[in-house]
Amino acid sequence: MIQTVLNTIPTPSFEYALLSPILVMFLAACLGVLVEAFLPHEKRRFAHLIIVFTAILFAFFAVVLQSGPNGRALVANGTVALDGPGWILQGTILLVAALSALLFAESKIDPLGDAFAARASTLPGGEEEKIATKLGWAQTEIWPLFSFAISGMLLFVTANDLLVLFVALEVMSLPLYLLAGLARRRRLLSQEAALKYFILGALASAILLFGSALTYAYTGSLEFGQISNGISSANNSPGLLTAAIALVAVGMLFKVGAVPFHQWVPDVYTGSPTPVTSFMAGAVKVAAFGGLLRVFYVAFGALVWDWRPLIWVVAGLTMVVGSVIALAQSDFKRMLAYSSVSNGGFILVGFSATSRPAIAAVLIYLIAYAFATVGAFALLTLIREQAGESSTLIRWKGLGKKSPLVAGLMSLFMLSFAGIPLTSGFTAKFGVFTAAISGGATALVLVGVIASAIAAVFYIRVIILMFFSEPIPEGPFVVVPSIFTTIAITASAVVTIILGLFPQVVIDLISSASVFLR
């Protein structure tokens, strides 16, 4: 009896080699937990750095070596799809995360140590906090949390099953909620950000889960390919399906920070420690859009005519609202937060075209944006005052005089955000606009054009402040970072320029790999 039951359940097949990037990061996270448990304080940081960077390196090579045509398959019983976009997204996430990891590791900029609270459990501003800081303690748990988040992201962008998608989402999000609350400076803001992020994020996750359940109810499956088949063949009431798609869409659009689900973005981006913000705006954004692409292209691809108008509206709103509100910001971090929202809108413009070039365009936009934004946040960590980072824009007056290099690089990233030719931002915008026009969304492109013009104002204003104004007395000073941050900034700048001057290299790579498996 038992024997027959066992025979009907298929033995789970598990392609360890192909899944190795995800597994390696997961293993690194577990190892990190052990380090926390067994190593003394002073040895932990070094051990974590070795583990995390080795893991990222290994995972990246695993991606590069296996991403060829032979490595494209549905694995783990069809719940994970390792296809062209999946590999590209995994590679991008690992590279961008590596840059953020470098910022996490930086401990030379702030005289007190790295960007994280000495003891997260101490009362902000309290006596214990002072003692913990004085003793030079460090919250080294950030490293296993970081690794868990990456493994979640790697799974999220390749998940081919709504349940796996949800699990990946949680593995990726939970560590982020914690990381958001760990800032060394302005701790109350940071804790508030963490709480907001957690509550809103949990709500969005619940909505996504509910949507998944309804999808299952309608199609009888959680696997994307089967959902797609189920939608075409099932003849249940369409109301159920509409609700299902709407709920899944809300859950996913929350993660990408699209209007009207963007409210968490400015507070969380501003409150989090800047390395974590760079991680959210870079890697998390890539992961969120990667998941969105797959769910809507593969699972709900048959219904593109139904959801596309919705995405058009969301994209238009996201671009315009993000850009307009960013105009009014006086804080650099908050401005970049709204800029991240508005850039999400441009990605949605490309996304709405649902074609092969559209996938490539979205991927290129993600790469261009992720690197530029990590670079901009990395530069922000260098511009400091006694009390920490100086993110009030007006105080940046004349920064170009104090440090032409930092101000010059910042201008490069701002010009890239503004979409000036010869930077990656232009290549990206050209790609999504091209995709959208070929998809018939000319009107949306015109909205995008207007939004770009609005957005240019606040990006260029930063350059004007830095270069065309006289410095204010007692303004911020620029710190010379260690090798970690230097590498992160250099890499971001190089990608921004290369993608602007010779985009063909990346376009070739991505165009050859922009087909989803189902």
Partner 1 sequence: MNFPWLLIVLLTPLIGTVLLFIPKRFVAFSDQQIALYSSLITLLFVIVIALQFDISSSATTQFDVSFDWIPVFGITFHLGLTGISLVLVGLTAVLTPIVLLATEYEVQKKNKEFLMWILLTQASALAVFLARDLFLFYVVFEAMLIPIFFLVGRFGGPKRGAAALKFILFGLAGGLVMLAALIWLYFVAVNQLGRGTFSITALSNELKLDAWTERWLFLGFFFAFALKAPMIPGHTWLPDTAEQATPGTSTMLIGILDKVGTYGMLAILLPIFPNASIEFAPVIIGFAALGIIYGALVAIAQKNIKRTFAYISISHFGFIVMGIFSFTSIGMIGSVIYMVAHGLSTAGLFLTAGYLIRQKDNSLISNFGGVTKAAPVMTGLFLIAGLSSIALPGMAGFVAEFMVLTGTFQKYKIPAIIATLAIVLAAIYMLWLYQRVFTGTETKESSNIIDLNKKQILALSPLVALTLLFGFYPAPIIKISESTIAHTMTLVGATDPQPMIRKVVNQ
Q: Which of 168, 167, 173, 172 is nearest to 202 (CA)?
A: 173
Nearer to partner 1, 433 or 484 (CB): 433
Residue among 19, 145, 180, 418 that touches partner 1 (CB under 8 A):
418
Q: What is the dihedral of CA 343, 347, 350, 353, to 10 degrees?
A: -130
Check residue 472 for interaction with partner 1 (CB under 8 A): no
- Is 490 or 511 the residue whose CB approaches partner 1 more closely? 511
Q: Which one of the spans 30-38, 72-80, 123-131, 440-448 is the region binding partner 1 (CB under 8 A)?
A: 440-448
Nearest approach in angstroms of CB 419 to partner 1 is: 8
CB-wise, 76 or 510, nearer to partner 1?
Answer: 510
| Cis-peptide, bond into residue 260, ω within 30° of zero | yes
**Interacting residues with partner 1 between 397 and 416 (CB under 8 A):** 415
With contacts defined by CB under 8 A, name the span among 119-127, 240-248, 257-265, 420-428 that binds partner 1: 420-428
Name which position in 254, 433, 484, 516 contacts partner 1 (CB under 8 A): 433
Fill in the DSSP letter of residue 331. Answer: B
Instruction: Count the residues of the shown chain that bind partner 1, applying the rule CB under 8 A.
Output: 33
Q: Does 446 bind partner 1 (CB under 8 A)?
A: yes
Calpha distance 355→472 (Å, rounded): 51
Q: Does 394 bind partner 1 (CB under 8 A)?
A: no
Q: Which of 508, 482, 492, 326 is nearest to 425 (CA)?
A: 492
Closest to partner 1 by CB, 203 vs 460, is 460
Q: How far is the CB of 466 from partner 1 (least distance, A)?
A: 10
359-362: which pairs have CB atoms within 8 A and are 24 or more residues apart? Answer: 359/85, 359/293, 359/297, 359/514, 359/515, 359/516, 360/431, 360/435, 360/507, 360/510, 360/511, 360/514, 361/428, 361/431, 361/432, 361/434, 361/435, 362/289, 362/293, 362/432, 362/435
DSSP code for 419: T
Choosing from 58, 210, 216, 430, the residue that interacts with partner 1 (CB under 8 A) is: 430
Q: How far apart are CA 153 and CA 95, in angstroms?
A: 13
Q: Which is nearer to partner 1, 510 or 517 (CB)?
A: 510
> Both tokens of residue 171?
């593995």
Q: Which residues pair with 113 in a beta bridge?
A: 110
Q: Which helix (H) or strand (E) holds 80?
A: strand 80-82
Q: In angstroms, what is the minimal distance from the CB of 426 to partner 1?
A: 8
Asked if 313 is part of the footprint of partner 1 (rule: CB under 8 A), the reply reads no
CB of 410 to partner 1, least distance (A): 14
Quote the least distance from Cβ 507 to partner 1, whole Å. Answer: 5
Query: CB under 8 Å to 9, separation ≥6 — which residues?
Result: none
Binder of partner 1 out of 452, 485, 496, 514 (CB under 8 A): 452
Neighbours of 317 (CB within 10 A): 17
Closest to partner 1 by CB, 46 vs 468, is 468
Those residues whose C-beta lies under 8 Å from the C-beta of residue 1, and which sit 6 or more positions away, are none
Among 199, 422, 483, 515, binds partner 1 (CB under 8 A): 422
Residue choice 81, 368, 445, 493 for contact with partner 1 (CB under 8 A): 445
Beta bridge partners of 384: 389, 477
First to last CA, the chain: 35
Distance CA 463, CA 250 (A): 36
Residue with Cβ nearer partner 1 (330 or 504): 504
H helical segments located in 260-403:
264-271, 274-279, 285-294, 304-327, 332-351, 356-382, 399-402
Tell the smallest beta-carbon distance from residue 437 to partner 1 (Å).
Answer: 5
Q: Is 33 in the site for partner 1 (CB under 8 A)?
A: no
Q: Does 438 bind partner 1 (CB under 8 A)?
A: yes
- With residue 384 as reference, give the H or E element that holds it: strand 383-385
CB 266 within 8 Å of CB 321: no
Candidate ranges 52-60, 227-235, 243-251, 425-433; the one touching partner 1 (CB under 8 A) = 425-433
Question: By C-beta, is 80 or 510 nearer to partner 1?
Answer: 510
Residue 452 CB, shortest distance to partner 1, in Å, is 5
Q: What is the per-residue binding string for partner 1 in 484-513, x denoting contact by CB under 8 A? A: -------------------xx--xx--x--
- Residue 354 found at the interface with partner 1 (CB under 8 A): no
Distance CA 247, CA 215 (A): 10
Shortest CB 415 distance to partner 1, Å: 7
Residue from 17, 123, 131, 449 touching partner 1 (CB under 8 A): that is 449
- Stretch of 71-79, 130-138, 388-396, 441-449 contacting partner 1, by CB under 8 A: 441-449
Contact 343, 369 (CB under 8 A): yes
Q: Report in angstroms how near the CB of residue 422 gets to partner 1 at its nearest.
A: 5
What's at 325, amino acid-wise?
I
By CB under 8 A, tell whether 420 contacts partner 1. yes
C-beta of 157: minimal distance to partner 1 in Å?
A: 24
By CB under 8 A, name the binding residues for partner 1: 415, 418-422, 426, 429-430, 433-434, 437-438, 442, 445-446, 449, 452-453, 456-457, 460-461, 463-464, 467-469, 503-504, 507-508, 511
